[in-house]
């Protein structure tokens, strides 16, 4: 029955094509999900600032509710670090911290 054979060939071709399309769409989905590696220079946290972050500014204070210490960290460029100041002195406690640490940029040691 020639019809059956040609039908089977067509089915095989269709299956093959579907498999290829499936591979392509899966590859596309994987591509969309892949995030760029997270080791590039970090941008300043300040909205609208595109300078690379140069300092890590950390403030640790007691939460108003008394539930515990809160540690807020921001990566800022030099200009914004200079403009930074303690914001939660009202919530200071024994272990209050306001700390500025330079980021080691591009040091591969």
Site residues, Zn ion (CB under 5 A): 44, 46, 49, 51, 77, 80
Backbone angles phi and psi of 52, in degrees to 5:
-70, 140
* Residue closer to Zn ion (CB basis): 57 or 77: 77
Angle at 73 between CA 67 and CA 79, to 5 degrees: 145
Residue 22 CA to chain centroid, in angstroms? 29
Q: Which two tokens stand for residue 101?
A: 């640490």
CB atoms within 10 A of CB 88: 16
Least Å from the CB of residue 91 to Zn ion: 25
Closer residue to Zn ion (CB): 52 or 96: 52
Choice between 60 and 80, CB closer to Zn ion: 80
Q: Taking the complex as a whole, how short is the minimal distance between the CB of residue 79 and Zn ion, in angstroms? A: 6
């Amino acid at each position: 029955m020639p019809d059956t054979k040609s039908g089977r060939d067509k089915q095989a071709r269709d299956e093959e094509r579907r498999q290829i399309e499936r591979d392509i769409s899966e590859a596309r989905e994987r591509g969309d999900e892949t995030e760029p590696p997270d080791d590039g220079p970090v941008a300043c946290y300040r909205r609208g600032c595109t300078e690379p972050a140069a300092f890590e500014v950390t403030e640790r204070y007691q939460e108003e509710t008394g539930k515990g210490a809160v540690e807020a960290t921001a990566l800022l460029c030099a200009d914004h670090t200079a403009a930074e100041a303690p914001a939660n002195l009202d919530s200071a406690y024994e272990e209050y911290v306001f700390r500025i640490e330079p980021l080691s940029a591009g040091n591969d040691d």
